[in-house]
């Protein structure tokens, strides 16, 4: 049993790194009026980092953070009207994110606004080893996957920079669900 | 002085070169200035544009054609200049003072900050923003001027405004609370 | 029209280049040398063209590679900033919803 547990925790982080987008999600591009598709792996992040200025406080901070990341992947589809995608499009990802290593930190549904936002983190001791944001809005579907070592303090320090909000690392993460 | 040149095509006479310079110098100079954010470079660029017009005057079909030609050449020359100058950045965002109090539209500091922020955009979005907000062109006209699809123009506008809202949006921030800038600023048409 | 739109239109109002701009342009136009005289004698023209072509070929490929890398790097930087902006926007959205929920408790 002891060995089985060790094996479980050894494999867990490895399994938790590979979060795959649904294979057919790109079909949504045909119906979308606006598509954002960003895929920056390690080498591209390092290349981008070379063009971030040390003289600009925003860019300098981003540069220091990007150094610890292995990849940033974003898919966002914006539609002309509601109902152009099924909420179940992201079920496959949610299933992966319920695997070992990942924790669902925030899940909030607003019936009034019609959106559902979930934030998953892969926790690796004191650091976030990965961050996934799934955001389903009436006319927009967004998936963000940040892979690598990013600390809550660094994320908090980016508050107000490039749109990343303050996250108070002192407060308990709240799981808020209103169905 | 330059010889006056009149080309009569159809029902409209092309103004002489001096008249064209006087009529459009503000437009040409301002496109260059707002693009490269360097007054002396913009004057030089504007002069080059008009010298090019002088050599191409025989090809102008009307006053309106000349105006459109000037606008197009001014933008493309500005883009070329910026490419040549890329290792000698003319403006850095670190020079832009961060407003510490909320600013109202018409505030010179805010205007300067917005101009610097636009000057820091990549070349194509920058050109789109200048044509939109200086020349008040609609996306179709911008697309024709820059030779890009209308959808790309709209995309550049959208993304540029999103970034400007974030960076300059603090200038519109009330003293307390985090504003919902998208609701305050409205969306691009 | 949004406040940002108003502010941008105000910021990008046309400006005059200066009172003597027109005179400078007209003077320059009057004194501009015709393009046809630029190359000089035909033999010299071809020799210069050949020499220029060699220089451009060598320098051009080095410059091209550098330009390519610079273009890719700037594009990657734009995408990085866009990606982080989108991530931040959605985190903001989640936080807003949580705050609304708590306010309603």
- pLDDT for A157 beyond 80: no
Q: Say which residue, A173 or B21, is predicted with more confidence.
A: B21
Contact yes or no for B53/B66 (Cβ under 8 A): yes
Across chain B, mean pLDDT equals 76
Considering the entire predicted model, what is its pTM? 0.46
**Residue A173 in this model has a pLDDT that exceeds 70:** no
pLDDT at B24 (0 to 100): 95
Q: How far apart are CA B86 and CA B79, in angstroms?
A: 10
Residue with token string 């200035």: B33
Provide the pLDDT for residue C32. 66
In terms of Cβ atoms closer than 10 Å to its own Cβ (0-12, 13-18, 19+), residue B17 is buried
For B163, which residue in chain A has the nearest alpha carbon? Answer: A162
Regions of chain B where pLDDT drops below 50: 1-11, 87-103, 173-189
Does C50 reside within a domain?
yes
Closest CA to A164 of A173, A172, A174, A152: A152
Residue C95 maps to a domain = no
Q: Is A55 on the interface with B (CB under 8 A)?
A: yes
C38: which 2 tokens?
């630029």
CA-based torsion, C80, C81, C86, C88: positive or negative: positive
Domain count, chain C: 1
Residue among C89, C12, C91, C79 at smallest CA distance from B169: C89
Instruction: Measure Cα distances from A62 to A32, A45, A122, C3, C72 in Å.
Output: 30, 11, 20, 29, 18
Give the start-end residues of each E strand in A111-174: 115-124, 127-137, 140-150
> Which of C7, C14, C24 comes nearest B27 by C-beta?
C14
B72/B114 same-domain check: no
Please indicate, yes or no, whether residues B57 and B116 belong to a single structural domain of this protein. Answer: no
Q: Are residues B60 and B100 in the same domain?
A: no
- Chain C: nearest CA to B157, how far in angstroms? 11
Tell me the two tokens of residue B152. 């790309």
ipTM associated with this complex: 0.74
* Torsion of the alpha carbons at B85, B90, B93 and B94, rounded to the nearest 10: 120
User: Is B86 found in the same domain as B14?
Assistant: yes
pLDDT of residue B73: 95
Beta-carbon separation of C98 and A165 below 8 A: no
pLDDT at A158: 52
For residue C88, the tally of other CB atoms under 10 A from its CB is: 22
- What is the domain range of residue C26? 3-77
C-alpha closest to that of B46 among B65, B85, B64, B20: B20
In whole angstroms, how far apart are CA B75 and each of A44, B36, B126?
31, 10, 10
Q: Does residue C93 lie within any of the structural domains?
A: no
Question: Could you tell me if B97 and B140 lie in one domain?
Answer: yes
CA dist., res. B86 & res. A151, Å (int): 34
Q: Are residues B53 and B110 in the same domain?
A: no
Tens of pLDDT, residue by residue over B159-189, are 898 888 877 765 554 433 433 333 333 333 3
Which CATH number belongs to the domain containing residue B82 in this structure? 1.10.1740.10
Whether B162 is in a domain gets the answer yes
Query: What pLDDT score does B86 carry?
Result: 60
Q: Which residues does residue A128 pair with via DSSP β-bridges, in sequence order?
A: A123, A150
Whether residues B63 and B103 share a domain: the answer is no
User: Rounded to whole angstroms, how far apart are CA atoms A135 and A77?
Assistant: 11
- Pair B171, B185: CB distance under 8 Å: no
Spatial CB neighbours of A28, under 8 Å, sequence gap ≥ 6: A77, A84, A85, A89, A141
Mean pLDDT of all residues belonging to chain C: 78
User: Residue C86: pLDDT above 90?
Assistant: no
Chain A residues touching residue C77 (CB < 8 angstroms) = 48, 51-52
Provide the angle, in degrees to the nearest 10, between the axes of the packed helices C42-103 and A57-66.
80
**Alpha-carbon span B21 to A10, nearest angstrom:** 74
- Show which of B74, B90, B106 is a domain's final residue: B90
Please report the pLDDT score of residue C41 as a whole number. 56
Say yes or no: B71 contacts chain C, CB-CB below 8 A: no
- Per-residue confidence band for A152, with pLDDT thresholds at 50, 70 and 90: low
Q: What is the pLDDT of residue A166?
A: 39
All residues at 6 or more sequence positions from A136 whose CB lies less than 8 Å from its CB, including other chains: A87, A90, A115, A116, A117, A142
How many structural domains comprise chain B?
A: 2
Structural domain containing residue B46: 10-90
pLDDT at B12: 56
In this structure, the answer to whether residues B86 and B58 fall within a common structural domain is yes
- Between the alpha carbon of residue B19 and those of residues A142, A178, B23, B77, B126, the distances in Å are 53, 68, 6, 22, 29
How many Cβ atoms are within 10 Å of A127's Cβ, its own excluded? 17
Angle at C87 between CA C84 and CA C88, to 5 degrees: 85
CA distance linking residue C17 with residue C23, whole number of Å: 12
B93–A56 CB contact, under 8 Å = yes
Higher-confidence position of B8 and A50: A50
Closest among A4, A125, A123, A22 to A75, alpha carbons compared: A22
Assigned domain for B36 exists:
yes
Residue B2 is assigned to a structural domain of this protein? no
Burial of A173 (0-12, 13-18, 19+ CB in 10 A): middle
Checking if the pLDDT of C58 tops 90, the result is no
Q: pLDDT tens, A71-118? A: 999 888 888 888 888 888 888 888 888 888 888 888 888 888 888 999
Q: Which residues in C lie closer than 8 A to residue A44 (C-beta atoms)?
A: 76
Strand runs (DSSP E) across chain B, as ranges? 8-9, 12-13
Residues above pLDDT 70, as percent of chain A:
73
Q: Which residues pair with B77 in a beta bridge?
A: none
Chain-chain contact of B130 with C17 (C-beta, under 8 angstroms):
no
pLDDT at A7: 32
Tell me the pLDDT tens digit for each residue of C3-37. Answer: 888 889 999 999 999 888 999 999 988 876 555 44
């Amino acid at each position: 049993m002891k060995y089985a547990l060790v094996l479980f925790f050894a494999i867990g982080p490895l399994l938790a790194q590979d979060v795959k987008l649904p294979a057919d999600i790109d079909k949504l591009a045909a119906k979308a009026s606006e598509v954002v598709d960003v895929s920056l792996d390690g080498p591209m992040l390092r290349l981008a980092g070379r063009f971030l200025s040390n003289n600009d406080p925003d860019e300098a901070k981003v540069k220091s953070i990007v150094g610890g990341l292995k990849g940033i992947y974003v898919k966002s589809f914006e539609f002309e009207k509601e109902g152009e995608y099924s909420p179940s499009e992201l079920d496959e990802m949610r299933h992966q994110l319920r695997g070992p290593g990942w924790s669902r930190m925030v899940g909030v549904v607003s019936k009034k606004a019609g959106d559902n936002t979930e934030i998953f983190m892969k926790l690796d001791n004191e650091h976030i080893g990965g961050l996934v944001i799934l955001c389903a809005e009436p006319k927009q579907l967004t998936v963000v996957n940040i892979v690598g070592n990013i600390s809550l303090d660094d994320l908090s320090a980016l508050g107000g920079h490039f749109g990343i909000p303050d996250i108070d690392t002192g407060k308990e993460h709240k799981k808020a669900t209103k169905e | 002085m330059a010889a006056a040149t009149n080309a009569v095509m159809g029902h409209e006479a092309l103004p002489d070169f001096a008249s064209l310079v006087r009529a459009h110098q503000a437009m040409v100079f301002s496109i260059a200035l707002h693009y490269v954010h360097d007054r002396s470079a913009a004057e030089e660029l504007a002069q080059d544009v008009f010298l090019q017009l002088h050599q191409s005057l025989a090809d102008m079909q009307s006053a309106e054609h000349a105006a459109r030609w000037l606008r197009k050449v001014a933008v493309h020359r500005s883009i070329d200049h910026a490419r040549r100058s890329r290792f000698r950045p003319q403006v850095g965002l670190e020079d832009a003072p961060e407003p510490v109090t909320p600013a109202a539209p018409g505030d010179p500091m805010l205007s300067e900050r917005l101009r610097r922020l636009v000057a820091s955009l990549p070349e194509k979005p920058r050109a789109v923003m200048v044509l939109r907000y200086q020349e008040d062109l609609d996306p179709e006209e911008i697309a024709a001027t820059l030779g890009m699809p209308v959808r790309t123009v709209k995309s550049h506008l959208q993304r540029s405004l999103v970034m400007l809202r974030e960076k300059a949006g603090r200038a519109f921030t009330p003293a307390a609370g985090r504003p919902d800038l998208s609701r305050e600023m409205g969306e691009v048409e | 029209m949004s406040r940002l739109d108003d502010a941008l239109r105000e910021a990008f109002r046309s400006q005059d280049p200066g009172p003597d701009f027109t005179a400078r342009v007209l003077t320059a136009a009057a004194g501009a040398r015709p393009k046809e005289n630029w190359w000089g004698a035909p033999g010299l023209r071809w020799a210069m063209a050949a020499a220029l072509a060699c220089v451009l070929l060598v320098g051009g490929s080095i410059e091209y590679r550098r330009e390519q890398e610079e273009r890719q790097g700037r594009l990657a930087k734009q995408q990085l900033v866009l990606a982080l902006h989108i991530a931040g926007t959605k985190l903001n959205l989640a936080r807003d919803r949580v705050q609304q929920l708590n306010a309603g408790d």
